[in-house]
Amino acid sequence: MEKDKFSGDEWEKVLYAPMWVFVSVAGADNLIDEKESKALASEMAKLSKHKLALVREVATTIQKTLRKTIADFHTYAAARHMMSELQTVSDLLDQKLDAASAQLFKQTMLNVGKSIANASGDSFLGFGSNVSKAERTALEMVAMGLKIPFK
């Protein structure tokens, strides 16, 4: 199991990476709507079949215990800051995984954020972008926290 590469505290940080992305992006406009929540669930379902074992394990764990993970995350997040937590996750991945796997995990988390940002928004009849300026800024911050370029 990929989880075994990490201490208990380290695993908690890695496990919460998608939650930090979700809360940062979906909450950027101060409203987490149902479409964004469904996008998170959909992304976790897709990621449970991801080629990187760590991504699969994180996604599967979140899927199995979504309500508990969200409740635990709220308690955990209250005393922490998204940017520093994602930087810590980035550092842990760089230490524990080969470079390609670490990069793939980080890019996958950013892609989760992009899917959530696109889940709802202000486009009119398919014209324009569903991604608000606040969500784009949040995505840029997620990329910065994960120490990857924003594309």
User: Which residue type, as a one-letter code, is found at position 64?
Assistant: K
- Structural domain includes residue 22: yes
pLDDT grade, residue 75 (50/70/90)? Answer: low
pLDDT in tens, 86-112: 999 999 999 999 999 999 999 999 999
Say what the pLDDT of residue 60 is. 94
Contact between 49 and 43 (Cβ < 8 Å): no
Say what the pLDDT of residue 26 is. 87
- Structural domain includes residue 151: no
- Structural domain includes residue 35: yes
User: Which residue type, as a one-letter code, is found at position 97?
Assistant: L
Question: How many structural domains compose the chain?
Answer: 1
- Structural domain includes residue 32: yes
- Structural domain includes residue 67: yes
- DSSP single-letter state for residue 79: T
- Structural domain includes residue 113: yes
pLDDT grade, residue 125 (50/70/90)? Answer: very low
The span from the CA of 70 to the CA of 40, in Å, is 12
Say what the pLDDT of residue 78 is. 60
pLDDT in tens, 32-72: 888 988 999 999 999 999 999 999 999 999 988 877 777 67
Say what the pLDDT of residue 14 is. 96
Looking at the whole model, is its pTM more than 0.85? no
Q: Which of 105, 112, 20, 19 is nearest to 66 (CA)?
A: 19
Q: Could you list the residue range(s) of the whole structural domain that residue 99 is in? A: 2-146
Say what the pLDDT of residue 74 is. 66
Tokens of 84: 């520093």
- Structural domain includes residue 90: yes
